Amino acid sequence: MAWLVVRLAISVSLFYTASAVFEDQVGKFDWRQQFIGKVRFALFDTHSQASKKLLVATDKNVFASLNSRTGDLFWRHVDKTGPEGHIDALLMYGQDAVVVAGNGRLLRSWETTVGGLKWETVLDTGSFQAAALVGVQDFVKYVAVLKKSAISLHDLSSGSQIWVENLPDSDTVQYQTIYSGGNGLVFVFGVVPNSHIVIVEYKIEDGEIMNKKSVEAAWMSSLESSCTVISSGILLCVDQITQSLYTLLLQSAEQTEMRQIHLQTLDLEVASGFQPVLTSTQPNPAQPPLSEFFLQLSPDHHILLQLKDGLIVPLRDFNPSYLAAFATSGERTVAAVMSPKNDTACSINLFSADTGRRHLDTTIIYHMDPNGGKPNRLYVHAFLKKDDSVGYRVMVQTEDLTLTFLQQPGRVVWMREEALADVVTMEMIDLPFTGTQAELEGEFGKKADGLLPMVLKRLSSQFILLQAWLAHLWKLFYDARKPRSSVKNEVNIDTLSRDEFNLQKMMVMVTASGKLFGIDSKSGTILWKQYLENIEPNSVFKLIVQRTTAHFPHPPQCTLLIKNKDTGLGNLYVFNPIFGKKSQISVPALPRPVLQTLLLPVIDQDYAKVLLLIDDQYKVTTFPSTKNILQQLQDTASSIFFYLVDSSQGKLSGFRLRKDLSTELIWEVVIPTEVQKIVAVKGKRANEHVHSQGRVMGDRSVLYKYLNPNLLAVITESTDTHHERSFVGIFLIDGVTGRIVHEAVQRKAKGPVHFVHSENWVVYVYWNSKFRRNEFSVLELFEGAELYNSTVFSSLDRPHPPQVLQQSYIFPAPISTLEATLTEKGITSRHLLVGLPSGNILSLPKMFLDPRRPEVVSEQSREENLIPYAPEMPIRDEWFINYNQTVSRVRGIHTAPSGLESTCLVVAYGLDIYQTRVFPSKQFDVLKDDYDYVLISSVLFGLFFATMISKRLAEVKLLNRAWR
């Protein structure tokens, strides 16, 4: 096979030269941000005082270590997605972090400084319940894992299994928690709901059952949420209905039922409908927990209680308080409590756990982001100061997945926006002009009002320009005197302006949690953020740009179609994408679910494009709905068509708008769902430009492209998944007439299908189930050697079906996502951007995906620069546009044109976000960085002077000759 590859490489290199990034270009126009997701477990390394480590495990199956001083990642491990990689528990002791992953399938121990795996053990199957560190004689040696029907004990240093025991009566008893107080015993707690609690005692050495007892507890439904162990082995439970606390001495033989303590006797009451929460702390797994604990009575009421001589004593009542947490440093345990201060800020205070007394000067003020969510988790890092007092830092996680790390007296050390780990959709918006540029632009827009005022206006704007230029010069001069490092290009929302080539844009990102971000594409700085409450998480969002920045003085306008959490109906959120501010425009109410949205090129007086929303009764709502718009819509109604897809019935239907904004069904295509189901429908991008109408062939004739802007690519997958009979179907359907332009079947193929539909081609990727490999297929449509109507394309008047060419190739890698580059005028050749699961993004020239690649090289094909057909698609390392900056779990790639024809802006998002520029045809319109200005200007000047001198000499010579 090697010779085949070599041959291929040679033939390829003849046609194509590399376009990789040079070493000195790294980081110049690209950046990457790494995220972790929503934190589920966070542990501070309290092993040594100077430690900066913060270990986190998240819902994205990421286990990472953060630098608690900067918020940067030390290291990060990204596990499999889904339940296979789900992190069940995170425990830490000393330098080791123990992780249970995959619903109790794997037990791993990590070295926390560099993130190396120390050992890994595969556990028996069974659904995971709990895990705990087990200590013997003040020394933690084991880790115990509780499954639904078994408990196992593992050595902490090697992972080897010490013993595994089946739990008694595991079919009736739900074993849920585990406890060890360092006295050579492991307690397992199980519950039979609304009946009794089962407590089993195991001996650590050999797993022998020392004792087993059941205690009456008719009120209990779940142990996990309502019970905890405090003091030297006392099980403490709380019940909302009886409004009581219950205690049980674990190691006493005589106590056979739980002791009830009415909350009333403590003057306490649980808020109605609230499940009270008990929080205790066990600073060292080898020692019993403290006798102090928190009881949360309502969402904003905590109380610190102590168990003393069998009596429960309130130490301190925190009302109101949002969050409370324990932290230990050395021998001292403290409690941090977050209480509301005023509408926009909270104060966090430190209290000593054993007395409930407040530590002086420990207040941290936490300012809540008015555009963010409420805090919902508090993680405390306590440390001993030099004077032996306790200092602390806190990490606050909010509903919108912001992690804020604070230290006294309220300084934000760092902040992470973890909502960005789950970007759903995005757009790139041009930045507005600066004031001066806008001034000049505005001059053209206004109506002329006489000669003199015009001249004056021109003069004044020129003067403003001069002023700006002088200010710019002054700034340059001023900056030049300062040392280089101190000059920083701080990006600020007020100084945002379009650069010369429109390379810097505003990235508007919509995340699954319902938080919107405005990010500067040049630096990756978050310029604005907005958390939308009452949004159903992970629902479909649709982001529409109604007005771009081009219409000064009207601000740009974006509309987001969102789904309300409570009503389940659609809702429009209109905002300014540059500043993130919600627009004051009144939006139409949407009383019915929205099926389809349609952005029309029809604009109203203030240049906002019209958005049509079609509800489930095929009624159309327009936004904006001014008189002018309605008039325009009435005039053009008969040429406004739209389509709907109902994949559950396999039905595609086309509608036409009527003058009264009702709709009429005009075509219907039904693909029977018994055989195949529609998995995706894609049209072409609205902002796409095609520069050339045809392709010049080797014999100088032109092959015209079939450029139907209404064409839809519909991909189906067979319901039969047998590898011999499964297939992928491709339908090319005209969205106006419903005409099936082309219909193809890829046999022995399976999804997931990724595809790109652009210009006159469709590229799709599928899994070949026969040969078990990924394959690319390209379809190109041509009108032929003659155009039917060269001036305008109308779906209603294009009777001849196009010629369809298709070719397939083997792609030697799996694929996560697929997108095509996009440039301003469409002159630059196209590349496909392929996101690979390895985290690389491959920029594959479209040239390789050309159905006209010849089997046998001929004179004509050489003339046309067609690469000879090779069944295998090459992957070359220099095509990876993100060199070593891999993007974990890449889910989408967004491309946007820049002001330079050669340059396309690319944003890849998944767990990470990566932004870069690609130059599919190299930078043909830009001078290189190392362009020799000195040489070219010296040559120019040299030539200029040489002409001057020679002219002079020639004159002298002529004069001399005349005298002769």
Three-state SS letters, 120-147: EEECCCCCEEEEEEEEECCEEEEEEEEE
For tokens 């039905």, the residue is 651
806 binds another protein (CB under 8 A): yes
Shortest distance, CB of residue 848 to another protein, whole angstroms? 13
Q: Residue 483 or 799: which CB sits closer to another protein?
A: 799
Instruction: Verify binding: residue 870, another protein, rule CB under 8 A.
Output: yes
Q: Are 896 and 428 in contact (CB under 8 A)?
A: yes
827 makes contact with another protein (CB under 8 A): no
Of 251, 241, 181, the closest CA to residue 217 belongs to 241
Given candidates 74, 809, 848, 919, which one binds another protein under the rule CB under 8 A?
A: 809
Out of 210, 589, 696, 745, point to the residue binding another protein (CB under 8 A).
Answer: 745
Chain residues 598-657 in contact with another protein, contact rule CB under 8 A: 638
Which amino acid, 19? S
Q: Which is nearer to another protein, 415 or 870 (CB)?
A: 870
Neighbours of 525 (CB within 10 A): 14
Does residue 798 interact with another protein by CB under 8 A? yes
Residue in 305, 657, 733, 842 binding another protein, rule: CB under 8 A? 733
For the record, the structure tokens of 778 come out as 């390209």
Place of tokens 């397992």: 188
Query: What 3-state class would DSSP assign to 295?
Result: strand
| Cα–Cα dist 272/274, whole Å | 5
- 735 near another protein, rule: CB under 8 A: no
**DSSP 8-state secondary structure symbol assigned to residue 29:** S
831 is written with which tokens? 């590349």
Would you give the end-to-end CA distance of the chain in angstroms? 83
- Rounded least distance, CB 787 to another protein, Å: 14
726 binds another protein (CB under 8 A): no
Distance between CA atoms of 915 and 420, rounded to whole angstroms?
Answer: 14
Q: Which of the ranges 187-195, 271-279, 510-518, 671-679 carries the binding residues for another protein, by CB under 8 A?
A: 671-679
Distance, CA of 322 to chain centre = 29
Which of 899, 840, 839 minimizes the C-alpha distance to 521?
899
Options 338-346, 488-496, 605-613, 792-800: segment touching another protein (CB under 8 A): 792-800
The CA distance from 572 to 623, in Å, is 10
Any contact of residue 775 with another protein (CB under 8 A)?
A: yes
Q: Are the C-beta atoms of residues 328 and 348 closer than 8 Å to each other?
A: no
In whole angstroms, the minimum distance from the beta carbon of 574 to another protein comes to: 35
Binding map of another protein across residues 871-900, x = CB under 8 A, - = no contact: xx----------------------------
Give the range of 384-392, 798-806, 816-824, 940-948 binding another protein by CB under 8 A. Answer: 798-806
Single residue of 413, 630, 661, 669 touching another protein by CB under 8 A = 669
The answer to whether 730 contacts another protein (rule: CB under 8 A) is yes
In this complex, which beta carbon is closest to another protein, that of residue 4 or of residue 471? 4
Separation of alpha carbons 916 and 924, rounded Å:
18
Residues 847-866 that bind another protein (CB under 8 A): 855-856
Positive or negative CA dihedral for 511, 517, 519, 525? negative
Q: Which is nearer to another protein, 310 or 871 (CB)?
A: 871
C-beta separation of 762 from 770 below 8 A? no
Task: Count the residues in the chain.
Answer: 964
Q: Out of 499, 616, 668, 932, name the contact with another protein by CB under 8 A.
A: 668
- Which residue number, 454 or 666, has a Cβ lying nearer to another protein? 666
Single out the residue of 535, 671, 715, 844 in contact with another protein (rule: CB under 8 A): 671
For another protein, which is the closer residue by CB, 663 or 886?
663
Please identify which residue in 746, 760, 821, 882 interacts with another protein, judged by CB under 8 A: 746
Q: Are 819 and 895 in contact (CB under 8 A)?
A: yes
Residue 759 CB, shortest distance to another protein, in Å, is 19
CA 374 to CA 501: how far, in whole Å?
Answer: 41
Residue closer to another protein, measured from CB, 6 or 943: 6
One-letter amino acid at 852 equals R
747 binds another protein (CB under 8 A): yes
Q: Per rule CB under 8 A, is residue 739 in the interface with another protein? A: yes
Residue whose CB is less far from another protein, 746 or 817: 746
Question: Looking at beta carbons only, is 103 or 673 nearer to another protein?
Answer: 673
Binding residue for another protein, selected from 135, 624, 729, 910, defined by CB under 8 A: 729
Helix runs in 376-450, H state only: 435-445
Options 35, 110, 642, 667; binder of another protein; rule CB under 8 A: 667
* 690 vs 804 by CB, closer to another protein: 804
Candidates 557, 676, 817, 840; binder of another protein (CB under 8 A) is 676
> 139: which residues sit within 8 A by CB, 6+ positions away?
286
Interaction between residue 869 and another protein (CB under 8 A): yes
Residue 790 binding another protein, by CB under 8 A: no
Does the footprint of another protein cover residue 164 (CB under 8 A)?
no
Q: Tell me if 224 sits within 8 A of 176, measured CB to CB.
A: yes
Query: Is 740 one of the binding residues for another protein (CB under 8 A)?
Result: yes
In angstroms, the CA 267 to CA 305 distance is 12
Taking each helix axis from N to C end, the angle separating 435-445 and 451-481, rounded to the nearest 10 degrees, works out to 170
Q: What is the DSSP letter of 772?
A: T
How wide is the angle at C-alpha 236 spanned by C-alphas 44 and 141, nearest 5°? 45
Strands (DSSP E) contained in 748-790 are: 749-758, 761-768, 773-784
Strand order in the sheet with 31-33: 31-33, 913-918, 904-909, 892-897
Q: Report the residue from 84, 646, 743, 878 that binds another protein according to the rule CB under 8 A.
A: 743
Secondary element (H or E) of residue 630: helix 627-636
User: Shortest gap between Cβ of 615 and another protein (angstroms)?
Assistant: 22
Whichever of 244 and 774 has its CB closer to another protein, that residue is 774
Name the residue nearer to another protein (CB basis): 240 or 737.
Answer: 737
User: Which of 61, 768, 882, 895 lies at the binding interface for another protein (CB under 8 A)?
Assistant: 768
Cα–Cα nearest to 759, from 858, 828, 813, 826 = 826
744 binds another protein (CB under 8 A): yes
Total residues binding another protein (CB under 8 A): 50
Q: Using CB atoms within 10 A of its CB, is residue 735 exposed (0-12), middle (13-18) or buried (19+)?
A: buried
Q: CB of residue 729 vs another protein: minimum separation in angstroms?
A: 7
Cis check: omega of the bond before 556, within 30 degrees of 0 = no
Q: Minimal distance in Å, beta carbon 798 to another protein?
A: 7
Query: For residue 167, which amino acid is it?
Result: L
Alpha-carbon gap, residue 149 to 950, rounded angstroms: 102
Using the minimum distance from each CB to another protein, give the nearer residue, 737 or 921: 737
Q: Give the residue with the Cβ less far from another protein, 83 or 672.
A: 672
Which three-class secondary structure state does DSSP give residue 331? coil
Residue from 787, 810, 875, 926 that binds another protein (CB under 8 A)? Answer: 810
591 near another protein, judged by CB under 8 A? no
Q: What track of x and - describes contact with another protein for positions 1 through 40 (by CB under 8 A)? A: --xx--x---------------------------------
Q: Please, which residue, 3 or 22, has the CB nearer to another protein?
A: 3
Could you tell me the smallest distance in angstroms from the CB atom of residue 809 to another protein?
Answer: 5
What count of other Cβ atoms lies within 10 Å of the Cβ of residue 499?
12
- Positions touching another protein (CB under 8 A) are 3-4, 7, 638, 664-672, 675-676, 727, 729-730, 733, 737-740, 742-747, 768, 775, 777, 779, 789, 796-799, 804, 806-810, 855-856, 869-872
